[in-house]
Amino acid sequence: MQQFFSSISFCIQHIGYLFILCLPVMTIEFALTYLVTSIGIDSSMSDSAALEVLSSISSQLFILVVLSLILSVGLSGGAMIAFKALASNNEVTPYQALYAGIKKFFPLLLGNLMHTLAYGIGFLLLVLPGFFLYARLGLFPLYIMFEDKRALDALGESWQATDEVGTKLFVLTSVFLGIQIIFGLMGGLAGIDSSIGFLVLATLIKYVTIMPLFYLFFSLYASAKKNSNNSLT
């Protein structure tokens, strides 16, 4: 539990910096979610009517999807640059960190796609295997950003690096991701999952939980590298 509280403590300590880092992604994600939920497509609609509604917003939808993809993928790497800068007191602005992630968009994109695929398959197998795979493979952005590894190699490195702490990391990952899922289910059951207030809160909850998890991955990577360097000296 020490890692759990230290991750949260670090993010609270640097909450202003991390909020600015996440703000572009959160804004675009909220706009995209609101656009999709506001058009009123439901199961009672015919296919032709649904397509007509979608075609009326196709240009806005396309722009928001592209921006969301670029920024969210960039954030997965940019967050690691930000954590390193904050931990070592380097002067890197939030947007410089995010831009550093965007510059490695394609390897990060491939890594995120494979990571998400593994998580999705595991999630279908009664949820918990998805959390386990998410945890074990979650360090891949660090190997891409700091060691220029290719996506598949980075995922392999992450799997090896988390071998000894896999169970503990799985539990902590389950807590952070579980909060997101439970909040979403509660909104759906209450029938408020399409309201503006809920969408704003859901977006905030997502990043309030994902940033400590990302820092947990970063601290594990940093610890592994420190131990590796000590063993060589």
- Cα–Cα dist 72/66, whole Å: 10
- Read off the tokens for 145: 């950003």
Mean pLDDT of the chain: 90
- Cα–Cα dist 16/170, whole Å: 28
3-state DSSP of 111-174: HHHHHHHHHHHHHHCCCHHHHHHHHHHCCHHHHHHHHCCCHHHHHHHHHHHCCCCHHHHHHHHH
- Cα–Cα dist 158/140, whole Å: 6
**Three-state secondary structure call for residue 32:** helix
**More confident position, 184 or 22:** 22
- Cα–Cα dist 75/211, whole Å: 10
Domain definitions of the chain by residue range: 2-232
Do residues 51 and 58 lie in contact, with contact meaning Cβ atoms separated by under 8 Å?
Answer: no
Q: Whole-model pTM?
A: 0.90
Instruction: Please state the separation of Cα 136 from the chain's center in Å.
Output: 14
* Residues 199-215, mean pLDDT to the nearest whole number: 94
- Interval 130-180: pLDDT, tens: 999 999 999 999 999 999 999 999 999 999 999 989 899 999 999 999 999
**More confident position, 126 or 64:** 64
**More confident position, 55 or 68:** 68
pLDDT surpassing 60 at residue 22: yes
- Going by pLDDT thresholds of 50, 70 and 90, the confidence category of residue 127 is confident
pLDDT surpassing 90 at residue 92: yes
- Read off the tokens for 68: 């969301």
The owner of tokens 């795979």 is 133
